[in-house]
Amino acid sequence: MRYSKLLGKTIREDPHGSKRESYSLLIKGGYIRQMSNGLFAFLPLGVRVLKNLQNLIAAELDKLGGQEVNVPLVSSVDIWRKSGRDQWVGKELIRFNDRHGRELVLSPTHEETMVELIRSSMSSYRDLPLFLYHFQIKFRDEERAGKGLVRTKEFLMYDSYSFHRSGNDLNNFFPRVFAAFSKIFKCCNIETIAAEAGVGFIGGEKSFEFLMPSGDGDDVVVGCKNGHYHANRDIAVGSKQYIGGDLLAMEKVETPCCATMEKLSEYLKIDKHRLAKSVVYFTPVGLVMAVVLADYEVGKEKVSRYLSAPLLRLATNKELASAGLVPGYLSPVGNTDNIRIIADDSVVKSANLVFGANEEDFHFINVNHGRDYEISEITDISLTNKESSCLFCGAPLQEVPAIEVGHIFKLGDHYSRIMNLVFRDGNDRICFHHMGCYGIGLGRLMDAIVEANHDDKGIIWPLHLAPFKVFLMAIGKSLSVKKLVEELHEELSDIALYDDRPDSPGVKFKDAELIGIPLRVVVSARHLSEGMVEIQERKSGKITLVLREKVKETIEKLTGKE
């Protein structure tokens, strides 16, 4: 490939508003271009990297018996209604009608579609287990699109789905996919943390995320320094502090202009750990109040999992008023017949707390569960905080910002029961399929690879993922130099990007480093006079002079290292 003909040359300026070095390098190196907020075009270099990622992933999946399929991006809303996820997914799900008025959706994920594919295509229980995968463009109308390829509206994703006769078969297969994902990320030269995670709107029994630590990541991993525990902060658990003591008499006190925990703590001159915080959500099952201690945050994923329903949004003031609640002074104490209440276990175990009085400018102090109020639904619904410690060894829990690069779900029979996907086993018994689903966002992964593999000069692609293995260039205009560089271009055409521009050697050197191709081959009059050609390794900077006749052989040896 001649660089002069390539669409998407390097640029020197950082993209407007860029905060991620990886995003800047992908733009400046000529790999991607932003078309609109959350929408990106992949240029020829970027497409070659994506194809290499696809080949890497497919090779590992094929070892597990994976079969590649291609299903539509568009699906009928009927199958989403059948699964109930039309209620779970909010504005991220794009709905539209065709010319006949049939309601369709742009699928942000394909569990329902795969269920219907198996229903129509599987002939016998003997077909199981089945492991299907595809590389598919997906669309989610992300509210917080940004950070380059980390959070986009349209993205290319690998996702796969396994179908099994039993939970035991799924349990045996799941670790094999886990190991394959670990190997894929190792081949990408990125360090990942495997962490327990929430199931979100995907649903199912449990999930694990593969996260790469990143100061600019939009996820947070909570981990024990001894390595006993890692989880996404959304669902992480840890030790909690409880306040004991003799029960004091409950009092109603005036708290003017104290509608926030900060103002209330300052006014009463007590620590936040003595305050109870109530948050009300609008859900498909009605208004739900979540109560936690004020030095914790409500774990929305935990509440959602407990309810088996999504938290669609915060309740409006009008909705609060209809339930007899006063914003800023919410409380489970008093008339709460119109609302469902879930309390964190730390709240009911603590003595003499401060609660809102459901009256503007008033709070209750010395409130105690069982005497002053009753809540029957009690579970862990709070996020860990800086005081939390590991439940396994007692070590402090630490928070690490990270980027999610992969996610695997043990769905169990969640979808097959809801959508009635059954088969008859060898004893003619009707059984539900057990499912798993597994995904990697290729754009996110590409971004993560660049973040983990760059220096102050540019990208350093792992050899097997680079768009080309060789960056070929010449120094000098003599006929002998031109002749040899053209010969090498012909010999290496499948793996080489030939910079045939009339620019200076300095410009070409900088572009070679920015683009990040693993090997740079330079033909120059100085070395050619001795029959030698220069080969430099991008990662180490090591320069080797080789005889003209040994160039291809040397490159083959160097590219066989990984």
Query: Same structural domain for residues 405 and 311?
Result: no
Query: Same structural domain for residues 498 and 549?
Result: yes
Tokens of 397: 């829990």
Q: What does the pLDDT profile of the chain (562 residues) look like in tens digits?
A: 999 999 999 998 888 766 789 999 999 999 999 999 899 999 999 999 999 999 999 999 999 999 999 999 999 999 999 998 888 887 788 999 999 999 999 999 999 999 999 999 998 999 999 999 999 999 888 877 777 898 899 999 999 999 999 999 999 999 999 999 999 999 999 999 999 999 988 888 999 999 999 988 889 999 998 988 999 999 999 999 888 889 999 999 999 999 899 999 999 999 999 999 999 999 988 999 999 999 999 999 999 999 988 888 999 999 999 998 999 999 999 867 789 999 999 999 999 999 999 999 999 999 999 999 999 999 999 999 999 999 999 999 999 999 999 999 999 999 999 999 999 999 999 999 999 999 999 999 999 999 999 999 999 999 999 999 999 999 998 999 999 999 999 999 899 999 999 999 999 999 999 999 999 999 999 999 899 999 999 999 999 999 999 999 999 999 985 4
Query: Same structural domain for residues 441 and 510?
Result: no
The CATH number of the domain holding residue 406 is 3.30.930.10
| Residue 390 domain-assigned (yes or no) | no
Query: Same structural domain for residues 508 and 443?
Result: no
Query: Same structural domain for residues 436 and 498?
Result: no
The CATH number of the domain holding residue 373 is 3.90.960.10
Residue 455, beta-bridge partner list: none
Provide the domain count of the chain: 3
| Residue 389 domain-assigned (yes or no) | no
List of residues 6+ apart from 46 with CB closer than 8 A: 8, 26, 31, 32, 446, 467
List of residues 6+ apart from 313 with CB closer than 8 A: 281, 282
Domain that holds residue 516: 463-559
Closest by CA to 449, choosing from 108, 160, 192, is 192
What's the pTM value of the predicted model, to 2 decimals? 0.91
Give the alpha-carbon dihedral of 263, 264, 267, 270, to 10 degrees: -120
List of residues 6+ apart from 109 with CB closer than 8 A: 138, 159, 202, 437, 439
CB-CB contact of 499 with 3 (8 Å): yes
Residue carrying structure tokens 């525990």: 229
| Residue 491 domain-assigned (yes or no) | yes
| Residue 386 domain-assigned (yes or no) | no
Give the alpha-carbon dihedral of 198, 57, 187, 109, to 10 degrees: -20
Q: How many residues does the chain have?
A: 562
Query: Same structural domain for residues 331 and 425?
Result: no
Query: Same structural domain for residues 404 and 532?
Result: no
Query: Same structural domain for residues 440 and 477?
Result: no
Pairing of strands 32-36, 340-344: unpaired
Pairing of strands 340-344, 286-293: parallel
**Domain end call among 379, 409, 431:** 379
CB-CB contact of 85 with 201 (8 Å): yes
Closest by CA to 414, choosing from 222, 167, 243, is 167
Peptide bond into 15 cis (omega under 30): no
Query: Same structural domain for residues 86 and 226?
Result: yes
Residue 209, beta-bridge partner list: 195, 407
| Residue 387 domain-assigned (yes or no) | no
